[in-house]
């Protein structure tokens, strides 16, 4: 009889827990990686890097095969996530610069809806004078967010001796640490502390973890670097410097970069484990995304990673510069191990998270975003004609040139500003963008050219740096 009572109580407890879960707004853990390439995950093609925890996240959620960053470099994409607007609409098309205080960010919208908000990591949407930091844009707590686009070093104290002579520690929340600690691990510790502090609290949270890794400088714990030096040697690629076109690296073989990817993966694993141990796993949406393509073209021998089969990398108009690894796990909603090939972009996160939280959408704010909830529930289409890009700058570090672009269906048109030149690709047949169809298919070229021009004029996009309000002819 005693066992029966236990079974009944257990059943009632589980049922009550289910009712409580159903009535709660979901927590949100948003993981944004810096410069991670589309094929930098084992689950998406890498045989050199090791990402078992991120692979497990993909296996438990939905992987978006055609996910795009709204910018080919970091700051514009970061602005697009928080604002729900294309970089061309906000005028924040280049690296650095302060986000406008007038933007009502997704953090502010969620905060209005009863969420506790927390930011840690790379901000790069403000300036050295402290204007427009995370706490100015809706985050209750900010650990590490400042004007830095990359850390001077990944090891404590995280900034150089020269800087220490000029001013106090410039990274908020990281003034105190242990000599030699690694930045990715430290920020993960801070995020875990926050997760543990939220356990049992009725208020949902929005934790935005914006990694510095895998951005340069290339630095990682020595033992991990040695591991990948050995692995590269065992694979016969330790000294491989083969190149593709435009200085693009063809092989993933950099031991330090691989070590940084492993540190990232361990961080994701620790966070997911904490959600589970704290009883938050079933009521937390987890989002994983990169802010632009992997750095594959730099200097004589290319960048630290390879994005093949995608062409080029960070800052470029080609797929290697803008197509990202993206995963969303929404327990009870997304089908485990599912893959979605509908094109989506970083402006979509804003309305998606509001929709998932059961909060009113703000279409005037997230003007360029579309809720992905229908896709997360198993749908196969969105009500959107096309996705757009506008990067009116030359990127000195990679050799990328100013461009605008549009993707509609299977086709993508790139307009290179210098020389007023166009290239057209059918991505389903030519993922590597090697076969330019602009001459052989003038009708499709003209259709997308007109679409791109109409879009540029509709948002008064800038033609080149410093001339934001010029209209496109």
CATH fold, domain 26-385, is Alkaline Phosphatase, subunit A (3.40.720)
The answer, yes or no, to whether residue 329 has pLDDT greater than 70, is: yes
Alpha carbon distances (Å) from 127 to 136, 146, 147, 159, 412: 13, 7, 5, 16, 35
Q: Confirm if 440 and 423 have CB atoms less than 8 A apart.
A: no
Its CATH architecture, for the domain 402-473, is 2-Layer Sandwich (3.30)
- Non-local (6+) Cβ contacts of 272 within 8 A are 53, 56, 57, 281, 286
Predicted TM-score (pTM) of the model is 0.92
- Please compute the mean of the pLDDT values over residues 254-268 and round it to a whole number: 97
- What pLDDT is recorded for position 6? 34
**Cα three-residue angle 23-28-30, rounded to 5 degrees:** 170
| Mean pLDDT computed over every residue of the chain | 90
Is residue 113 predicted with pLDDT exceeding 60? yes
Ranges of each domain in the chain: 26-385, 402-473
Residues 6 or more apart whose Cβ sits within 8 Å of residue 53: 265, 266, 268, 269, 272
**Distance between CA atoms of 38 and 305, rounded to whole angstroms?**
10
Indicate if the pLDDT at residue 23 is higher than 90: no
């Amino acid at each position: 009889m005693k066992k029966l009572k236990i079974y009944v109580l257990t059943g009632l407890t589980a049922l009550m827990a289910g009712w409580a879960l159903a009535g709660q707004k979901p927590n949100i853990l948003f993981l944004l990686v810096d410069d991670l390439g589309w094929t930098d995950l084992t689950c998406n093609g890498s045989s050199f890097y090791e990402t078992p925890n991120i692979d497990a996240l993909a296996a438990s959620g939905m992987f978006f095969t055609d996910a795009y960053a709204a910018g080919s470099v970091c700051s514009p994409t970061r602005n697009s996530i928080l604002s729900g607007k294309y970089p061309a609409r906000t005028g924040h098309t280049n690296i650095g610069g302060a986000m406008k205080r007038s933007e009502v960010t997704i953090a502010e919208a969620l905060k209005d809806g009863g969420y506790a908000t927390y930011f840690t990591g790379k901000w790069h949407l403000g300036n050295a004078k402290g204007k427009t930091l995370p706490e100015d844009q809706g985050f209750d707590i900010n650990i590490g967010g400042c004007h830095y686009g990359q850390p001077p070093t990944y090891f404590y104290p995280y900034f150089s001796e020269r800087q220490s002579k000029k001013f106090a520690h410039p990274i908020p929340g990281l003034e105190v640490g242990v000599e030699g600690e690694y930045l990715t691990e430290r920020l993960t510790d801070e995020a875990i502390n926050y997760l543990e502090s939220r356990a049992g609290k009725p208020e949902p949270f929005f934790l935005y973890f914006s990694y510095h890794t895998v951005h340069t400088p290339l630095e990682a714990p020595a033992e991990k670097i040695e591991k990948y030096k050995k692995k590269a040697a065992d694979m016969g690629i330790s000294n491989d410097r083969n190149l593709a076109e435009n200085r693009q690296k063809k092989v993933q073989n950099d031991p330090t970069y691989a070590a940084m990817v492993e540190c990232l993966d361990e961080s994701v694993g620790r966070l997911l484990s904490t959600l589970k141990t704290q009883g938050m796993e079933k009521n937390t949406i987890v989002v994983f995304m990169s802010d632009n393509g992997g750095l594959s073209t730099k200097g004589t021998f290319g960048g630290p990673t390879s994005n093949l089969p995608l062409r080029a990398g960070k800052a470029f108009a080609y797929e290697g510069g803008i197509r990202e690894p993206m995963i969303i796990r929404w327990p009870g909603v997304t089908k485990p191990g599912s893959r979605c090939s509908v094109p989506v972009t970083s402006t979509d996160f804003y309305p998606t998270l509001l929709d998932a939280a059961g909060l009113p959408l703000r279409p005037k704010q997230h003007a360029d975003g579309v809720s992905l909830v229908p896709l997360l529930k198993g749908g196969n289409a969105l009500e959107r004609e096309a996705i757009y890009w506008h990067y009116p700058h030359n990127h000195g570090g990679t050799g990328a040139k100013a461009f605008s672009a549009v993707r509609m269906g299977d086709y993508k048109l790139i307009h290179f500003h210098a020389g007023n030149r166009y290239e057209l690709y059918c991505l389903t047949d030519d993922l590597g963008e090697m076969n330019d169809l602009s001459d052989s298919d003038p009708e499709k070229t003209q259709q997308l050219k007109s679409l791109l021009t109409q879009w540029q004029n509709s948002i008064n996009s800038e033609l080149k740096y410093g001339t934001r309000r010029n209209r496109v002819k």
